[in-house]
Copies of this chain bind each other. A is one copy, B any other.
Amino acid sequence: MARDKVCVVIGAGDATGGAIARRFSREGYTAVVTRRTIDKLKHLVAEIAQEGGKVHPFGSDARDEEQVAKLFREITTSRVYRKVWEMTAFAGFLTAREAAKVMVPRGQGTMLFTGATASLRGGRGFSAFAGGKHAVRALAQSMARELAPQNIHVAHVVIDGAIDTEWIKANFPERYNAGPDAILNPDDIAEVYWQLHRQKRSAWTFEMDLRPWKETW
């Protein structure tokens, strides 16, 4: 039944997470969206409701990405190193474990993890962030191997490039205005998440990358 169809987005910000929630909502899914500050979800909730979708906002202690972005550039203290791990790997672990508890008895479900370039590469000054993202990827890989035979699809999407957000617009104007489609459009990412969710189990993807056409890699 339709009420069984729920899409939970941890960290449903103004960009990727929000777009994913809207995309699934348009297909009849109830969107459960979380953000540290529930007030910041108002706009998204209104948008989904206006399109006729069902949405339930929750405040949760998963911290938003901007904070992480600020943190991992700083000279890394042990407090920061731990905090970044908690925001990335530990938050991912807790969420995934709870999701698995619901999905395994049902014998179905999809879990999609969002990775970054740092999931695969430990760059200069990125030891904390890359450590957390590497750990998330290991978690996703372990869970994919454990849960696939139970009909639960776990995938990891490596997003390699800047995403179209207010923050990028404000802080990297030259990049933001580098030409058409030069940065990742959240709706285009959301479409890929939707397709992953719809993949038939004879042919499931564990990992794929996404980057803008003009991105150098």
Contact = CB atoms under 8 A, between A and B. Distances in A.
Contact of A151 (B78, B121, B185, B213): B213
A126 interface: yes
A135 interface: yes
A122 to B, nearest CB: 3
B135 A89 contact: yes
Interface stretch (A5-13, A24-32, A195-203): A195-203
A191 B200 contact: yes
A78 B89 CA distance: 11
A136 to B, nearest CB: 8
B127 A131 contact: no
Contacts of A35: none
A139 interface: yes
A210 interface: yes
B203 A205 contact: no
B122 A138 contact: yes
A82 interface: yes
Interface in A128-148: 128, 130-143, 145-146, 148
Interface of A: 76, 78, 81-82, 85, 89-90, 93-94, 97, 118, 121-128, 130-143, 145-146, 148-149, 151, 153, 164, 181-185, 188-189, 191-192, 195, 199-217
9 smallest beta-carbon distances between A and B, as pairs: A122-B141, A208-B208, A131-B135, A127-B142, A134-B134, A130-B138, A122-B138, A185-B202, A122-B142
